Structure 1
Amino acid sequence: MRHSRELPYDAAPDEVFAMLADPAFREKVAAAQEVVSIEVSVTPAGSGFSLVSDQVQNTAGLPAIAKKIAGDTTRAVVREEWADATSGTIEITAPGKPTRAVGSLRLTPSAAGTTYVQELEVTVKVPLVAGKLEKLMVDNIDAGLTVEHAVGTAWLKGER
């Protein structure tokens, strides 16, 4: 299942890029998303960076079919590879689970500042219910992006 989301920020692309490369920002987002635990590592790579965010997420509120696969908590590993301040790739996996999301990330200048674009291909390999689980995964990713955007907007205004 394909998923695309655009998030506007009232800041220059280099400011948004710096925010995305800051482990403290990623930890603040995780706290706002009520993640059980998180380990974040950011490694500079040329004019970009590599990020690994290893999270344990609570699955309370998920439908029974999803909880059967995920359990009471689930581990999500997000890997981002930013080639530079304009584009990167993303992969979201749940080790030991039949789910995966891969795609691209972009920061583009806009009249208001910057547009962050995330495009994903979400796959769940479970016979008969894959489509429903992919939709659920997309909804969860989208909800997470909504929280990230709220935290990012406040971060860029100096609320750290």
Structure 2
Amino acid sequence: MSTRIVKELVYEAPLSDVAAMLADQSFREEVCVATRATKYAVTVKGVHGDPLEVRIEYSQPTEGSPGFAKKLVGSEVDIVQSETWTSLEHGDIHVTIPGKPGEMVGTAVLTEADGVTTETVTMDITVKIPLVAGKIEDLIGKNLGRALRAEHRAGVAWLAR
């Protein structure tokens, strides 16, 4: 079983500008700050279609999380996000929590219409812990939604510069 999350982020900018933003290490670092990462390391290698590879290793505090979640990961959680962009329009995403039984796998797809770009992020969340998997997947989905809203705000500000 898994939980699927689909989010659309709309940017008033051409696809090429949004793709360049997503490939920019400084932008990805700004997103880490916007999502309250306590520590982070961002690596961007290659160019779109080469493929472009983005790796983000970061830690997030678990304050405000339910007690059962804190018992599993502690006061903060380490996350590794890897993206492989095979074109300007398509990236495959894989997110893990090292040492924990779960992952998120999905895609980011960019489409443009009349100079407006929509980034559609589709993620399947899988947790392999009997009895509480659904609760944890739901919690991760809510956290993913908050993180994507923070990324969108950072992206709108970035593109407005």
TM-score range, shorter chain: over 0.9
Q: State the distance in 1 between where 2:87 and 2:115 align.
A: 21
Q: Tell me which of 75, 80, 87 is aligned to 2:78.
A: 75
Residue pair 2:4, 2:122 contacting (<8 A) in 1 also:
yes
1:44-59 correspondence runs (5 A): 44-45=46-47, 47=49, 48-59=51-62
Aligned to 1:140: 143
SS at match of 2:98: coil
1:3-152 correspondence runs (5 A): 3-45=5-47, 47=49, 48-111=51-114, 113-152=116-155
Could you tell me how far 1:110 is from its partner in structure 2?
A: 2.2
Which AA in structure 1 matches 2:120?
V
Which AA in structure 2 matches 1:142?
G
Could you tell me how far 1:155 is from its partner in structure 2?
A: 0.3
1:61-85 deviation line (CA, Å, top 9, x unaligned): 1100110111111100000000010
Could you tell me how far 1:108 is from its partner in structure 2?
A: 0.3
Which AA in structure 2 matches 1:12?
P
Q: State the distance in 2 between where 1:45 and 1:85 align.
A: 9
Instruction: List runs of 5+ in structure 2 lacking aligned partners.
Output: none
Give the aligned CA root-mean-square deviation in angstroms. Answer: 1.0
SS at match of 2:114: coil
SS at match of 2:46: strand
Instruction: List runs of 5+ in structure 1 lacking aligned partners.
Output: none
What is the count of residue pairs matched by the alignment? 158
Q: State the distance in 1 between where 2:152 and 2:104 align.
A: 19
Could you tell me how far 1:45 is from its partner in structure 2?
A: 4.6
1:20-64 deviation line (CA, Å, top 9, x unaligned): 001100111111111001100000156241000000111111100
1:89-142 deviation line (CA, Å, top 9, x unaligned): 001100001120001110001235100011111011111010010000000001
TM-score by length of 2: 0.95
Q: State the distance in 2 between where 1:143 and 1:111 align.
A: 28
Q: Percent identity?
A: 39
